[in-house]
């Protein structure tokens, strides 16, 4: 059984890192609390005039490296591996990839250990990757393969709750996967 695990907002807390930086830098400006997010992309969740300031934050050096782990995620992935499951990280770099690509590798090395860097699959098209399950917070995942080999199980987030699909968190993954 091969499990593909997404990184941003599944293992690394992109939304929390963004909100922390946004509120510190622009305390006078509006913000969208995580529970009120209905749109996957943080940039699209903000009014158009603020969008350049939003992307400025997640494009800056250190953003991807300094994200906190999502609670329970590192432990869950290591437990899965100990149970004999084959784990790969399956993550998409930003289109503006300069800091993000290097820092995703650094993040995995720091939070999982150097040997786990071998398990990173970095791709803009996850439908091309072979696996049994893809755990990902993105509501709809599309690419050149119209029928990917994996089953998409949602990592539960406020902005994907309108999608009717099996979902889990790092608190209930064993029950959901029947393990």
Residue ranges that bind ligand U2P, judged by CB under 6 A: 6-9, 14, 41-43, 91-92, 94
Stretch that binds Mg ion, among 2-10, 30-38, 113-121, 168-176 (CB under 5 A): 2-10
User: Which partner from the list Mg ion, ligand U2P, none does 160 bind, CB cut-off 5 to 8 Å by kind?
Assistant: none
Least distance to ligand U2P from the beta carbon of 6, Å?
A: 5
Question: How far, in Å, are 10, 62, 75, 117 from residue 156 at the CA level?
Answer: 9, 26, 17, 25
How crowded is residue 84: how many other Cβ atoms within 10 Å of its Cβ? 7
| Three-state DSSP class for residue 177 | helix
Contact 136, 126 (CB under 8 A): yes
Q: Which of 6, 9, 13, 15 is catalytic?
A: 6
168 and 177 in contact (C-beta within 8 Å)?
A: yes
Q: Least distance to ligand U2P from the beta carbon of 92, Å?
A: 4
Residue 8 engages Mg ion in binding (rule: CB under 5 A): yes
Residues serving a catalytic function are 6, 8
């Amino acid at each position: 059984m091969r499990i593909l695990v997404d990184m941003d907002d599944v293992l690394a807390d992109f939304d929390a890192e963004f909100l922390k930086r946004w509120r510190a830098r622009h305390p006078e400006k509006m913000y969208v609390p995580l529970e009120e997010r209905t749109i996957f992309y943080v940039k699209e969740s903000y009014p158009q005039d603020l969008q350049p300031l939003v992307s400025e934050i997640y494009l800056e050096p250190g953003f991807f490296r300094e994200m906190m782990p999502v609670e329970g995620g590192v432990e869950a992935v290591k437990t899965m591996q100990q149970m004999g499951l084959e784990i790969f990280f399956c993550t998409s770099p930003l289109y503006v990839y300069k800091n993000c690509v290097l820092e995703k590798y650094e993040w995995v090395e720091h939070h999982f250990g150097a040997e786990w860097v071998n398990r990173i699959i970095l791709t803009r098209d996850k439908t091309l990757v072979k696996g049994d399950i893809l755990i990902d917070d993105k509501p709809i995942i599309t690419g050149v393969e119209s029928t990917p080999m994996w089953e998409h199980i949602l990592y539960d987030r406020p902005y994907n709750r309108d999608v009717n699909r099996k979902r889990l968190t790092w608190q209930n993954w064993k029950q959901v996967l029947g393990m």
